[in-house]
């Protein structure tokens, strides 16, 4: 996504060096639509510069600091020397993340999505999370909860979450669910213990997740799962609840799975 507006003085921008002259360097801004800036030779590097080409080359991706913006003359003055290594690294990573998010937008809403709809959806996500990448990351972790305060349609939210779950890598996610277990049969407490033991087994995902079951308040038990991604966590949570319910029903009891805690309301 390229912004149609203008950068602000002091802002760090990513640009591609297109022309090198004796007096400075012309840079096409990668994040802004049809915007070009100039790095004067005095802003290319500290100290005396004999040859600009000793410091930059055509086609190079550079992180620059915006010194001044004159919209009336369509002029953007940039500095290369005022950007340190840490700023450069962080800005490049941010730019790469936004490129990923731009690709995910096309996956979620189609490569032929028209500009107006794209901008509408993007503005909702930017308003909620500050960047497209963070919006997809939060959707991967929290599902539709991450976009519930936006004006996106139900279908748009679903498409966003599905794409996020399939494409975004996060260190780990935590999900929580609850299962009610009741057993009026002769097996009583022993039957419930057997159901909880079944719930605690990590099944086929044992090497990928951390799962725990704890007592909340009769007849409710909490299941917590930590996993490398939202999709795996949800699958493990539901499988745990299903194992518990199957086990309690085999004992002659009853079980029910739900996502929200109920005990406080009783």
Each residue of 93-136: pLDDT tens digit? 999 999 999 999 999 999 999 989 999 999 999 999 999 999 99
Residues 122, 185, single domain; the answer is no
Each residue of 211-259: pLDDT tens digit? 999 999 889 999 999 887 788 888 899 999 999 999 999 999 999 999 8
Peptide bond into 219 cis (omega under 30): yes
Domain with residue 150: its CATH number is 1.10.150
How confident is the model at residue 266, as a pLDDT? 44
Determine phi and psi for 185, rounding to 5 degrees: -80, 170
Each residue of 139-171: pLDDT tens digit? 988 888 889 889 999 999 999 999 998 998 877
Distance of alpha carbon 152 from alpha carbon 158, whole angstroms: 10
Distance of alpha carbon 34 from alpha carbon 121, whole angstroms: 22
Q: Which among 59, 130, 134 is positioned nearest to 104, based on CA atoms?
A: 134
Domains in the chain: how many in total? 3
Summary mean pLDDT of the chain: 91
Q: Which of 63, 83, 103 is the last residue of a domain?
A: 83
Residues 61, 19, single domain; the answer is yes
220: its two tokens: 């409710």
Host domain of residue 90: 86-167
In a domain, 1, yes or no: no
Domain with residue 219: its CATH number is 3.30.70.1130
pTM above 0.75, yes or no: no
Residues 78, 121, single domain; the answer is no
Between 199 and 231, name the one with better pLDDT. Answer: 199
Beta pairing, strands 36-40 & 75-79? parallel
Residues 226, 214, single domain; the answer is yes
Distance of alpha carbon 188 from alpha carbon 75, whole angstroms: 79
Q: Which of 139, 167, 195 is the last residue of a domain?
A: 167
How confident is the model at residue 207, as a pLDDT? 59
Determine phi and psi for 84, rounding to 5 degrees: -85, 175
Give the mean pLDDT of 57-65.
97
Provide the pLDDT confidence category of residue 4 given band limits of 50, 70 and 90.
confident
Give the mean pLDDT of 166-195.
90
Distance of alpha carbon 156 from alpha carbon 196, whole angstroms: 38
Q: Which among 261, 173, 190, 169 is positioned nearest to 225, based on CA atoms?
A: 173
In a domain, 6, yes or no: no
In a domain, 4, yes or no: no
In a domain, 3, yes or no: no
Give the mean pLDDT of 61-83.
97
How confident is the model at residue 75, as a pLDDT? 96
Can you tell me whether residue 183 is helix, strand or coil?
A: coil
In a domain, 199, yes or no: yes
Q: Which of 50, 83, 116 is the last residue of a domain?
A: 83
Distance of alpha carbon 156 from alpha carbon 193, whole angstroms: 43
């Amino acid at each position: 996504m390229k912004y149609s507006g203008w950068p602000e003085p002091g802002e760090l921008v990513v640009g591609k060096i297109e022309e090198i002259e004796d007096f400075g360097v012309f840079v096409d801004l990668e994040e802004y639509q049809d915007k070009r800036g100039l790095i004067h030779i005095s802003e290319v590097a500290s100290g005396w510069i004999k040859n600009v080409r000793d410091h930059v080359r055509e086609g190079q991706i550079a992180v620059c600091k915006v010194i001044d913006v004159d919209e009336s003359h369509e002029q953007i003055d940039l500095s290369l020397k005022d950007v340190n290594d840490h700023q450069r690294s962080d800005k490049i990573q941010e730019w790469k993340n936004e490129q990923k998010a731009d690709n995910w937008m096309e996956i979620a809403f189609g490569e032929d999505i028209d500009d107006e709809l794209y901008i509408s959806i993007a503005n909702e996500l930017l308003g909620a999370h500050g960047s497209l990448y963070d919006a997809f990351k939060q959707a991967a972790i929290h599902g539709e909860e991450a976009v519930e305060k936006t004006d996106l349609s139900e279908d748009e939210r679903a498409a966003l979450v599905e794409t996020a779950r399939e494409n975004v890598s996060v260190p780990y996610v935590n999900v929580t669910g609850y299962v009610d277990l009741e057993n009026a049969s002769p097996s009583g407490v022993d039957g419930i213990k057997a159901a909880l033991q079944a719930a605690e087994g990590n099944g086929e995902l044992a090497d990928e997740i951390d799962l725990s079951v704890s007592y909340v308040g009769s007849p409710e038990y909490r299941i917590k799962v930590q996993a490398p991604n939202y999709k795996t966590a949800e699958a493990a949570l539901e499988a745990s609840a299903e194992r518990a319910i199957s086990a309690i029903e085999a004992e002659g009891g009853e079980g029910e799975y739900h996502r929200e805690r109920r005990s406080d309301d009783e």
